Amino acid sequence: MTFFVKYDFDLACKTLLREHLDAFDVSYSLGSLGEVKIKGGLSEEQRNSLATSLKRYGIEILDGQKITLVERIKNAIDELLKDKDLKSIKVSTYLSDTLHYSYAHLSSVFSESTYTSIENYIILRKVDLAKELICNTDLTLTEIAFRLNYSSVAHLSGQFKKTTGLTPSSFQRIMSKKIKHTVNPKT
């Protein structure tokens, strides 16, 4: 039997973090953008044990200011792209205001660490979100383009094709056939 699930990655990660942090009986708070504040700190042994237990789930405790800042930038971008109320805000303004650094500094650290620009990363994330929406909703391409703050379906289609090699319509047809074949393998 095959079935599909829909999940909220943010909620899953926060739940896992809470369960693991509760096991250490420490006072903590979970901030936005992947931030965990431990009141009083952890011993080195506790930190290593927590890191080991979280690693099983693909959650990593970050060391180093640049790596941490890059992850915070990525998390802020994901938050911006998913929040309907933030559509009209410029990315540079949002990142600067949220992370309390100049956009020039954020851009420099990001491209130095990832070998790509923030703008290119945003395009890749928007295409990934478009794929999710195509597969998991009944939204039209026009609605998806609007939700992802594209100026037009043509703009979405152009970036989608440049990134994946397929038009969104072709991707949609392929995924529909794949899902139909997985659910009903004899057809």
Tell me the domain boundaries of the chain: 9-55, 64-115, 120-187
Residue/partner pairs of 22-30 with CB below 8 Å, 24 or more apart: 24/49, 24/50
**pLDDT band of 32, cuts 50, 70, 90:** low
Residues facing 38 on adjacent strands: 28
Residues 6 or more apart whose Cβ sits within 8 Å of residue 102: 96
pLDDT for 55-78, tens place per residue? 888 888 877 788 889 989 999 998
pLDDT digits (tens, 9 = 90+) for 153-177: 999 999 999 999 999 989 988 888 8
Superfamily of domain 120-187: Homeodomain-like (1.10.10.60)
What are the phi and psi torsion angles at 40 (to 5°)?
95, -15
The DSSP secondary structure of 66-80, one letter per residue, reads HHHHHHHHHHHHHHH
